[in-house]
Amino acid sequence: MQIENEAITEVETKAKAAKEAARRLATVGAAAKNAALHAMADALSERCDELLEANARDIGAARNRGLTPHLIERLTLNPKRIDAMREGLAQVATLPDPIGEIVGGWRRPNGLQINKMRVPLGVIGIIYESRPNVTVDAAALCLKSGNAVVLRGGSEAIHSNVALTNVIAQAAAGQGIPAGAIALIETTDRAAARHLMTLNQYVDCLIPRGGASLIETVVKNATVPVIETGTGNCHIYVDANADAEMATRIMMNAKCSRPSVCNAAETLLVHADVAEAFLSVALAELHRAGVEVRGCPETRGKAGEVPVAAATEEDYFTEFNALTLAVKVVRSLDEAIAHINHYGTRHSEAIVTQDYAAAQRFCDEVDAAAVYVNASTRFTDGFEFGFGAEIGISNQKLHARGPMGLEELTTIKYVVRGDGQVR
């Protein structure tokens, strides 16, 4: 109970300070923000030893707690990774400042001039899991977009996150960034995260970054508006009029280039007209690449020598995040679209086709953040889209959809200038 009270006090204090910092940060120009980003980058190099020392404590604790090698790998900092963070900060400094952009403006018949201006959201709460680089990435993007940030990382990375936050927050403060603009909740008690999720008076937006259960917890418990990121159950649909070579290339890329990420494909749909010809090549190639295939009865019937397990209803709903692919033969474009809209997570969906009408219908009727014709779903990414940065990929329809860069961390304000108008 005492720990819980302390946790709540810390969150309350830091969120309130962040709100005050955000008010001042909103009017800080790009030159000062960029100077701060460069100073943060320099400080990471200069204080590298301190960071590695803190990280070693986390790694030691993780080993003692018996965390998997995979999790320990994600948690690990080394000079190369710190250098990558440093480069990330420098890169954010080169991006255009979104704040102050007039996204629209018009004059009303009564003479009022209405300007719609891009402004920061205010205070952004980031709730995330093990990788400590998120601490630096998120702080940089929030700072560049004029927002204060309250970070809440995983308990397994607490020493690394405290050290990283100290280093970058001090460097930023040295360049005149308001104190409190970059804050980390140091209490690892769960009450802290829960409290952060309901601090509507101080926090303008929450972005959870991590696995499905973290995101679900935030969506369920937050009263602060949330931008949901994450799950991608993506499909490649090979149409009756697909170029088979292109379809294979796109399928292999979407499944195998990085199976653990949200824009990787999880299900392959194949039009019945080309199933025989296409699957005879595709299943063998998947097998050679070490992909476990789970197929519908028709797919299994065409599998020949290639081992194909029976796909269950559950498989079609699953984001495997691994070298596993569900394969289903469909009778028509309609069936493909219906399957995707039913089983998909509205993330990234691709059709491979040479048929104009099929391409158009797929783009119009599939409900997803990104729909692709003749390209891999793997391109759904802030860098691949040309945003120069990414805070996550929004899986919801409100505010931001798809890859989120700096613009998605802003809102607008109407600035209305008159000369005495009344209504």
SS3 for 217?
helix
> Nearest CA to 357 among 331, 329, 334?
334
For 330, the token pair is 């469909």
253 makes contact with a second copy (CB under 8 A): yes
Task: Kindly state whether residue 26 participates in binding a second copy, applying the rule CB under 8 A.
Answer: yes
Contact between residue 95 and residue 406 where contact means Cβ atoms under 8 Å apart = yes
As a whole number of angstroms, the distance between CA 216 and CA 218 comes to 5
Binding a second copy (rule: CB under 8 A), the pick from 257, 260, 280, 312 is 257
The yes or no reply on residue 65 touching a second copy (CB under 8 A) is: no
SS3 326: strand
Burial class of residue 108 (count of CB atoms within 10 Å of its CB; 0-12, 13-18, 19+): exposed
- Distance, CA of 295 to CA of 303 (rounded, Å): 9
- Asked if 393 interacts with a second copy (CB under 8 A), we say no
29 or 79: CB nearest a second copy: 29
CB of 135 to a second copy, least distance (A): 23
| Number of residues engaging a second copy in binding (CB under 8 A) | 67
Q: Which of residues 124-183 bind a second copy (CB under 8 A)?
A: none
Please tell me whether residue 194 binds a second copy under the rule CB under 8 A: no
Q: Tell me the C-alpha to C-alpha distance, in Å, between residue 207 and each of 49, 76, 152, 400.
A: 30, 23, 10, 11
Q: Which one, 137 or 349, has the nearer CB to a second copy?
A: 349
How is residue 196 written in tokens? 């952060």
Query: Is there binding between residue 185 and a second copy (CB under 8 A)?
Result: no
- Window of 42-50, 150-158, 174-182, 384-392 that interacts with a second copy by CB under 8 A: 384-392
Q: In the complex with a second copy, which residue's Cβ is closer, 75 or 215? A: 215
- Applying the rule CB under 8 A, the residues between 404 and 423 that interact with a second copy are 411-423
Q: How many CB atoms lie within 10 A of CB 106?
A: 9
For the CB of residue 63, give the shortest distance to a second copy in the complex, in Å: 35
Q: Does 386 bind a second copy (CB under 8 A)?
A: yes
- In the complex, the smallest distance separating the C-beta of residue 415 from a second copy, rounded to whole angstroms, is 5
Q: Is residue 313 close enough to count as binding a second copy by CB under 8 A?
A: no
CB 387 within 8 A of CB 420: no
Shortest reach from residue 403's CB to a second copy, in Å = 8
Q: How far apart are the first and last CA of the chain?
A: 55
Q: Between 328 and 347, whose beta carbon lies closer to a second copy?
A: 347
Coil vs helix vs strand at 226: strand
Residue 73: partners with Cβ closer than 8 Å, 6 or more residues away: none
Among 5, 13, 27, 280, binds a second copy (CB under 8 A): 27
Contact 17, 205 (CB under 8 A): no
Among 54, 89, 121, 234, binds a second copy (CB under 8 A): 121
Closest CA to 144 of 182, 180, 188: 182
Min dist. Cβ of residue 20 to a second copy (A): 9
Among 200, 260, 280, 312, binds a second copy (CB under 8 A): 200
**In the set 146, 154, 402, 405, which binds a second copy (CB under 8 A)?**
402
CB of 252 to a second copy, least distance (A): 8
CB of 48 to a second copy, least distance (A): 32
| Owner of token pair 């491979």 | 352
Amino acid code (one letter) for 98: P
* 78/223 with CB nearer a second copy: 223
Exactly one of 84, 246, 274, 309 binds a second copy (CB under 8 A); that residue is 246
Rule CB under 8 A: say whether 373 interacts with a second copy.
yes
312 binds a second copy (CB under 8 A): no
**DSSP run (H or E) holding 63:** helix 48-64
| Nearest CA-CA partner of 395 in 210, 129, 198 | 210
**By three-state DSSP, how is residue 159 classified?**
helix
**Residue spans of alpha helices (H) in 150-271:** 158-174, 190-196, 212-221, 244-256
Binding site for a second copy (CB under 8 A): 23, 26-27, 106, 108, 112, 114, 121-122, 200, 204-205, 219-220, 223, 225-228, 243, 246, 249-250, 252-254, 257, 341, 359, 363-365, 367-376, 378-380, 384-386, 396-399, 401-402, 411-423
